[in-house]
Structure 1
Amino acid sequence: MKKQIYDEKNGLSYTLHGDYYLPDLEINEEEPTYGKYGIMRKQFLKEHRSARYQYLVLTGKLTEHLNQVDKEVREKVEILVEQMAEQWGVTDELKMQDQMEWVKRMNNIGSIVDNQIYIEIITK
Structure 2
Amino acid sequence: MANRFYDEKNGLWYEKQGDYYLPCLELPNEETEPIGIWGQWHKRYLKQNHRVLYMNLLTNGKLNSYLADIDERAEELFSRQVKQMAEQEGVTEQLKLENQMKWVARMNNIRSRATEIVNTDLIYT
Give the TM bin, normalised by the shorter chain: 0.7 to 0.9
Unaligned 5+ runs, structure 2: 1-6
Aligned amino acid, residue 52 of structure 1: L
Show the 5 A alignment for 1:12-51.
15=12, 17=14, 22=23, 24-26=25-27, 33-51=34-52
The corresponding residue for 1:77 is 78
Counting matched residue pairs gives 115
Q: TM-score, normalized by length of structure 1?
A: 0.79
- Conserved? CA contact 2:91–2:103, under 8 Å: yes
Unaligned 5+ runs, structure 1: 6-13
- Residues 112/81 of structure 1: CA separation in 2 closer, same or farther (3 Å cut): same
The corresponding residue for 2:111 is 110
Segments of 4+ in structure 1 off by > 6 A? Answer: 18-21
- Residues 94/68 of structure 1: CA separation in 2 closer, same or farther (3 Å cut): same
Show the 5 A alignment for 1:91-102.
91-102=92-103
Offset at residue 85 of structure 1 (A): 0.5
Offset at residue 26 of structure 1 (A): 3.1
Residue identity over aligned pairs, in percent, reads 34
